[in-house]
Structure 1
Amino acid sequence: MDTNIVGVGVGITDRFRSVVDEKSTRIATLAPRAQGLDVKVTHRAYHNGRIEDDTVELTLTGKGPIIRAEATDGDKFTALDLAVDKLAEQVRRAKDKRIDARNHPRGARLDKESGSLSGIDVTPASVEVLRAVATGEVPIITGNEDEADYTPVVIRTKEFGPEWMTVEEAVDRMELVGHDFFLFIDVRSDHPSVVYRRKGWDYGVISLTTQANPAELAS
């Protein structure tokens, strides 16, 4: 597996390269089909240099989906350890999903002998409906319009307890659960926020201007 290391605002020492080589061996064991590991180390300073940290971003490429993880710490070696642990967890999750997909295949399955469909909660349209759609006379099936709470749109709702975290932690959680967005409360501003995936590996953040009240949320 090829390893590429890039430093932004920080030099890459021989010691760090040797540690990355050790970690890449562990990753290659977990993901034997991986072809490359990109390591990006970014050094940032805040408040006139009084507070500094290093962010290590790992991108694993090869046959299959790209897997990414990152971590931030005051020491780049610690950040590397944290990022490798996250990457290893994501590799395990992806492997478990592949095993589950093989053991429990999803989607529609057609029985060629009987012509019946299974594995999908859909009733095939009749010839009359298909003909009506083809001619532009699409039928509208009604029956619940007289009900006070009737709506043609099915809205599913879910409620979760509030979680305070940084934007970086929210991105990591989003990647771990495999969603395109993640709701959280920004620990820096106390604003309800959502991170979301954009094109490539870019991310966006949307925040409400109102602040979350821990006492009200806990009640």
Structure 2
Amino acid sequence: MQINVTFRRLDPSQGLKDYAVKRLSKLAKYFGGPTEVNVILTTEKFRQIAEVVITGNGLNLSGKEETNDMYSAIDLVVDKMERQLRRHREKIKSHKGRGPGRTVTASAAPVESEGKNVVVEQVTAKPLSVEEAIDQLELMGYQFLVFVNADTESLNVIYRRPDGHYGLIQPESL
């Protein structure tokens, strides 16, 4: 974890920098890969502002706090970032424990259909709510996602429409 401290309209103080690095180093337990933490300490008249931006490993979080004391602003923003990281970690754990993940495998030989090759993919549909399916679609960058709707227990497809909204296909049984 790399921590960068920037001072704006404030005399750089080694004690303040060491305090910020010490407080932010306890967040290292939440990261699995290389992570960059940018800390911006600013003074505006009587306000002391501490801003933290965390990037790395597919994660972008930011927090900002202002008080009359820089040390308390650092404490508050570190607590805020820890809450965000804990919430993110719990969200990841809850998604992993819901059943088998989405696996895509192409068949060894393509199927012939009217002179055209069709590649067959087998997909394990995962039970998700519509909101979770949208999050998964965004996270993975897919155009569509096949899933089992956790509410209706039916096979659904969610897709990204050209206007930026989402479409949901819910097949009916005959």
Q: Does residue 28 of structure 2 align to residue 28 of structure 1?
A: yes
Alignment of 1:179-218 (within 5 A): none
Corresponding position of 1:37: 37
Paired residues for 1:12-27 under 5 Å: 12-27=12-27
- Contact preservation (8 Å) 1:28, 1:34: no
Offset of residue 34 of structure 1: 4.9
Kindly indicate whether the alpha-carbon contact (under 8 Å) linking 2:66 and 2:73 is maintained by their aligned counterparts in 1: yes
Distance 1:32 1:76, change over 3 A: farther
Counterpart of 1:86 in structure 2 is 80
Q: Is the 8 A contact 2:157 2:170 kept in 1?
A: no
Counterpart check, 1:95 vs 2:89: yes
Deviations along 1:107-166, one digit per CA (max 9) or x if unpaired, are: 3337xxxxx82587742389xxxxxxxxxxxxxxxxxxxxxxxxxxxxxxxxxxxxxxxx
Relative to the length of structure 2, the TM-score reads 0.58
CA distance in 2, matches of 1:36, 1:60: 6
The number of residues matched between the two structures is: 115
Q: Give the deviation of 1:65 after TM superposition.
A: 2.1
Q: CA RMSD for the aligned pairs?
A: 2.5
Q: Quick check: 1:123 aligned with 2:164?
A: no
Letter in 1 for 2:7: G
Q: Which has the higher strand share?
A: 2
Structure 1 stretches lacking a partner, 5+ long:
46-51, 111-115, 127-219
Q: Report the Cα offset of residue 85 of structure 1.
A: 0.1
Offset of residue 53 of structure 1 = 1.2
Q: Distance in 2 between matches of 1:32 and 1:15?
A: 29
Larger relative contact order (CA 8 Å, sep ≥ 6): 2
**Counterpart AA for 2:155:** L
Tell me the alpha carbon deviations over residues 180-205 of structure 1, each in whole angstroms, 9 at most, x when there is no partner: xxxxxxxxxxxxxxxxxxxxxxxxxx
Identity %: 23
1:66 corresponds in structure 2 to: 60
Contact 2:37 2:55 in 1 (8 A): yes
For 2:32 and 2:147, locate their aligned partners in 1 and report how far apart those are by CA, in whole Å.
32
The residue type paired with residue 16 of structure 1 is L
Q: Tell me if the contact between 1:34 and 1:60 (Cα under 8 Å) persists in the aligned partners.
A: no
Unaligned runs of 5+ in 2: 99-126, 134-145, 149-153, 159-167
User: Is 1:53 matched with 2:22?
Assistant: no
